[in-house]
C-alpha cells in the first residue's frame, strides 16, 4: 500500500469508529440520561477500553456536543431539502410539518436527548442551540409569511403559527411509543390536517 491509500483507509476507519461511539453514546444517554453515563459505559457498550473513546473525544461533553451538532445538521438538511423545492407555500408548509413530526418520532434517542438534556451543555453551547432554534423558526416563519402575503394562509401572526406547529409536533415526544397502534406517518398526517384545516368538519356544514 502506498501512503495515500493508507491515510485514506485510516481516515475511513476513524470516521467509522467515531460514528460507532456517537451511536452507542446516544443510545445510553437516551436510556439513562446524560449524567448517569460515563465514558467507561460508552466504551464497554462497544467492547472497547475507555482509552479508545478518549482518543476520539476529550471528554463526555464533547460526545454530547457532537450529538447535538449531528441532530442539528440532520434537521437542518431536511428543512433545506424541502425549502429548496419549487413548490408553493401551501405545499411547503405541510411538508415541513410532516418532516418535523417524523423527526420527533423516528429519531427517539435523539429527541430524548435534545428535549431533556440541554442543561448538560455549557452556557456557550446552549447559546448556539438557542440561536439554531431561532434560525429554524425563522425559516418556517418565512414560508408562512410568503403564503399569508399570497392570501393562501390566514392572517395569523407567523410567530404564533410557528409556535403552534412546533408545539403540536414536539408534544409527541411526551407520549409517543414506537410500538403503538398508529404509525409515525399516520400521526404526522393528522397533525398536517389539524394545523392546515383545523378540526372542524367543514364538509358537514351547510
Query: Any idea of the CA torsion for 182, 183, 189, 194, to the nearest 10 degrees?
Result: 40
Task: Determine the Cα–Cα distance for residues 168 and 187; give it in Å rounded to an integer.
Answer: 11
DSSP labels for 39-106? Answer: HHHHHHHHT--HHHHHHH-SSHHHHHHHHHHHHHHHHHHHHHHHHTSS--HHHHHHHHHHHHHHHHHH
Told to check if 194 binds its own copies by CB under 8 A, we report: yes
Does 169 help bind its own copies (rule: CB under 8 A)? yes
Contact flag: residue 190 with its own copies (CB under 8 A):
yes
Q: Which is nearer to its own copies, 25 or 113 (CB)?
A: 113
The reply to whether 1 sits near its own copies by the rule CB under 8 A is no
Would you count residue 168 as binding its own copies (CB under 8 A)? Answer: yes
Rounded Cα distance between 5 and 9, Å, is 6
For its own copies, the closer of residues 74 and 156 by Cβ is 156
In the complex with its own copies, the residue whose CB is nearer, 124 or 200, is 200
Residue 151 CB burial class (10 angstroms; 0-12, 13-18, ≥19): exposed
Shortest spacing between CB 191 and its own copies, in angstroms: 7
Do the Cβ atoms of 105 and 118 come closer than 8 Å?
A: no
Site for its own copies in 54-113 (CB under 8 A): 90, 93
Interface mask (CB under 8 A) for its own copies, residues 145-164, using x and -?
A: ------xxxxxxx--xx-xx
Q: Applying CB under 8 A, does 183 fall inside the site for its own copies?
A: no
d(CA 38, CA 53): 11
Site for its own copies in 35-54 (CB under 8 A): none
What residue ranges bind its own copies (CB under 8 A)? 90, 93, 144, 151-157, 160-161, 163-164, 166-172, 174-175, 182, 187, 190-191, 193-202, 204
Amino acid at each position: 500500500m502506498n501512503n495515500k491509500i493508507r491515510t485514506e483507509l485510516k481516515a475511513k476507519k476513524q470516521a467509522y469508529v467515531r460514528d460507532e461511539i456517537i451511536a452507542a453514546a446516544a443510545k445510553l444517554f437516551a436510556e439513562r440520561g446524560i449524567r448517569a453515563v460515563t465514558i467507561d459505559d460508552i466504551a464497554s457498550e462497544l467492547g472497547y477500553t475507555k482509552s479508545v473513546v478518549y482518543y476520539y473525544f476529550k471528554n463526555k461533553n464533547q460526545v454530547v456536543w457532537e450529538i447535538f451538532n449531528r441532530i442539528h445538521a440532520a434537521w437542518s438538511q431536511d428543512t433545506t431539502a424541502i425549502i429548496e423545492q419549487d413548490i408553493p407555500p401551501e405545499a411547503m408548509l405541510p411538508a415541513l410539518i410532516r418532516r418535523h413530526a417524523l423527526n420527533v418520532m423516528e429519531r427517539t434517542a435523539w429527541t430524548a436527548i435534545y428535549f431533556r438534556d440541554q442543561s448538560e451543555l455549557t452556557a456557550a453551547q446552549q447559546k448556539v442551540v438557542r440561536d439554531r432554534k431561532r434560525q429554524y423558526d425563522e425559516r418556517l416563519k418565512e414560508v408562512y409569511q410568503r403564503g399569508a402575503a399570497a392570501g393562501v394562509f390566514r392572517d395569523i401572526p407567523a410567530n404564533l403559527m410557528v409556535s403552534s406547529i412546533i408545539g403540536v409536533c414536539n408534544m409527541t415526544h411526551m407520549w409517543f411509543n414506537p410500538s403503538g397502534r398508529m404509525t409515525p406517518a399516520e400521526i404526522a398526517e393528522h397533525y398536517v390536517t389539524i394545523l392546515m384545516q383545523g378540526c372542524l368538519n367543514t364538509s358537514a356544514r351547510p
